[in-house]
Amino acid sequence: MLTQPDVEVVRDLAIKAGVCVRPVLSHVTDTVTGDVTLVPIACGSTRESQCPPCADRNRRLRIQQCREGWHLDEEPPEPPPSDEDDPERDDTDCEDENDSQRRVRSTRRRQDVPDLPRLPVANRTVGRTFTAPDGKVWRPSMFLTVTLPSYGPVTDEGVPADPSSYDYRRAALDAMHFAKLIDRLWQNLRRAVGYQVQYFATVEPQRRLAPHLHAAIRGAIPRALLRQVVAATYHQLWWPPHDEPVYTGDQLPVWDQDAGGYCDPNTSEPLPTWDEALDRLDADPNAEPAHVVRFGRQLDMQGIIAGSPDADRRVGYLTKYLTKSISETYDNHNSSEARRAHLDRLAHEIRWLPCSPRCANWLRYGIQPKEAAAGMAPGWCRSKAHDREHLGLGGRRVLVSRRWTGKTLDQHRADRAAIVRAVLAEAGIDPDDHNTYSATVLRPDGQPRYHWSPADPSDLGQTPYGRVIAHTIRRRQRWRSQYQAAKTRAASQADLSATETAA
């Protein structure tokens, strides 16, 4: 049996070989022979701190997706449904999208933002072409970076110059609702330019830990118009006020089973439900949004030409930090005490603010969360937005419009696998050997030959982690050798064919 030091050595070898270091183990039963095999399945993590090989594999997949859709000159096929789809909504500016009954408020735009053009949105995604004086035709695209506003002066290290005056509450709320602001940006942009603008975007933290957005945009948009759209984009949060906590410390609302809700700990009076709190908001003609999210003044727009070094650099920049969490992008064990204190203050603010209508933190502000249930406690909402490593960003780090390539991420993954299988097949290597237990392998009666079931750790017996990983490393090395040999053989045959053609 491998000792702990041996396991660490095997883990290091697995990382170098590109093998998942924390696989999910499954039993595969051959229903023909009765043999049972323990098969490791890659964890698929996107975080380098959890599994470097899987994180790098996912990052490379995103690189492929970004490149493939950025500079298309023909419309991509209509994609199949996917949970990653950009809804391309056309909501009114002041709807509470979190309310199941769609409480609609005034649709008048705020008076402190400029008006925007509103054009019929054509059903196309490919940008315009431009003809140079020499007759060459160009179809440029764009790279956009948008940021959030300032919350107070910061040093070169990204730390507030005066922490006591830094607006941590606003910074936390902006981060928690950043995704809604981004949704509104794409909606406004499509209306302003008159076609279905497509994008591949990533959300990253600045050095001050506020999120900002990098986006590859297909097609060229006039910079003055793009600047106008960014300046006029906002998201209003029509939630009950939550400026000051009502309950703190040990004096928290208590669950009343008979009432089916939370009550004041002293008076036993039921707290307003979520719907009741919104009713009060609707009834107040002078009500203001609980928060308004806007972009900051920093804005970067660049024209990008397909196949240029700039295009490759921007793809790398878009995917640079995808294997790291928000907090560890700029903060690690080498951070200064001031940096750690800055992160602590921001994380504390985010922990106690409500992230959604169902957030348990509403109890702190004297309101029952939507669909309240026993066991809720302020500061313990399950949403990852409150986690220290996410710092308010509870959604996806990668945002891709649904017609970017016309493919789902699984289809992109299949494309990469198909290339490898084609190279192996060309060299006479059976690709099916690389997927022995595929569900497509059938018995004579047409039923799947192999049955999969999760492996219970208590049933693994003397099959240690290290032995499973070591076996996977050997298999990966064999596959890689076969693939490299197949590529070399294909290149030699291509050179020989070129020589014969020239002769």
For 360-386, the pLDDT digits (tens) are: 999 999 999 999 999 999 999 999 999
Beta strand 211-217 pairing with 199-205: antiparallel
Residues 33 and 132 in one domain: no
Which band of pLDDT confidence, cut at 50, 70 and 90, is reported for residue 461?
low
Calpha distance 417→400 (Å, rounded):
22
Do residues 11 and 22 make contact, with C-beta atoms less than 8 angstroms apart?
no
Q: Is the pLDDT of residue 486 over 70?
A: yes
Which band of pLDDT confidence, cut at 50, 70 and 90, is reported for residue 88?
very low
Calpha distance 364→268 (Å, rounded):
16
Beta strand 137-138 pairing with 211-217: unpaired
Residue that wins the pLDDT comparison between 486 and 190: 190
Which band of pLDDT confidence, cut at 50, 70 and 90, is reported for residue 329?
confident
Helices (H) and strands (E) in the chain, counts: 11, 14
Output phi, psi for 22, to 5 deg.
-140, 60
Calpha distance 15→57 (Å, rounded):
12
Calpha distance 260→254 (Å, rounded):
11
- Reported pTM: 0.84
Kindly list the distances between the CA atom of residue 308 and the CA atoms of 128, 143, 311, 314, 315, in Å, as whole numbers in the listed order.
Answer: 18, 13, 5, 10, 11
Q: Is residue 292 domain-resident?
A: yes
pLDDT value, residue 427: 62
Residues 385 and 455 in one domain: no
Calpha distance 38→461 (Å, rounded):
12
Q: Is the pLDDT of residue 460 over 60?
A: no
Q: Which token pair is 229?
A: 């759209």
Which band of pLDDT confidence, cut at 50, 70 and 90, is reported for residue 24?
confident
Give me the number of domains the chain comprises: 2
Kindly list the distances between the CA atom of residue 449 and the CA atoms of 29, 35, 433, 440, 442, in Å, as whole numbers in the listed order.
Answer: 8, 11, 15, 8, 5
Residues 436 and 315 in one domain: no
Do residues 254 and 270 make contact, with C-beta atoms less than 8 angstroms apart?
no
Residues 142 and 45 in one domain: no
Residues 165 and 209 in one domain: yes
- pLDDT > 70: percent of the chain: 84
**Which residues in 164-250 belong to E strands, given as ranges?**
199-205, 211-217, 234-237
Q: Is residue 195 domain-resident?
A: yes
Residue that wins the pLDDT comparison between 232 and 449: 232
Which band of pLDDT confidence, cut at 50, 70 and 90, is reported for residue 159?
very high
* Residue where one domain finishes, among candidates 386, 404, 422: 404
Q: Is residue 67 domain-resident?
A: no
Least reliable range by pLDDT among 178-192, 301-315, 396-410, 476-490: 476-490
Q: Is residue 206 domain-resident?
A: yes
Which residue carries 């809604």 as its tokens? 180
- pLDDT > 90: percent of the chain: 55
Return the biggest CA–CA distance within the chain. 98
Q: Is residue 270 domain-resident?
A: yes
pLDDT value, residue 420: 72
Do residues 147 and 131 make contact, with C-beta atoms less than 8 angstroms apart?
no
Residue that wins the pLDDT comparison between 335 and 263: 263
Do residues 321 and 48 make contact, with C-beta atoms less than 8 angstroms apart?
no
Q: Is residue 327 domain-resident?
A: yes
Choose from 105-114, 269-278, 429-438 the range with maximum mean pLDDT: 269-278
Residues 400 and 424 in one domain: no
Residues 194 and 47 in one domain: no
Q: Is residue 61 domain-resident?
A: no
Do residues 281 and 238 make contact, with C-beta atoms less than 8 angstroms apart?
yes
Residue that wins the pLDDT comparison between 227 and 103: 227
pLDDT value, residue 87: 44
pLDDT value, residue 430: 59
* Residue where one domain finishes, among candidates 404, 422, 447: 404
Beta strand 24-30 pairing with 234-237: unpaired
Residues 428 and 353 in one domain: no
Domain of residue 450, residue span: 4-53+410-498
Q: Is the pLDDT of residue 478 over 50?
A: yes
Count of residues making up the chain: 503
Calpha distance 199→305 (Å, rounded):
15
Residue that wins the pLDDT comparison between 168 and 77: 168
Residues 115 and 134 in one domain: yes
Closest CA to 209 of 171, 177, 183: 171
Residues 187 and 304 in one domain: yes
* Residue where one domain finishes, among candidates 381, 404, 427: 404
Residues 179 and 281 in one domain: yes
Do residues 373 and 274 make contact, with C-beta atoms less than 8 angstroms apart?
no
Residues 316 and 396 in one domain: yes
Calpha distance 322→313 (Å, rounded):
15
Do residues 343 and 327 make contact, with C-beta atoms less than 8 angstroms apart?
yes
Q: Is residue 242 domain-resident?
A: yes
The H or E element containing residue 256 is: strand 254-256
Q: Which token pair is 268?
A: 């036993």
pLDDT tens across 49-70, in order?
Answer: 899 999 999 999 999 999 999 9
Residue that wins the pLDDT comparison between 119 and 457: 119
Rg (CA), the chain: 27
DSSP class of residue 269 equals P
pLDDT value, residue 96: 43
pLDDT value, residue 236: 95
pLDDT value, residue 84: 52
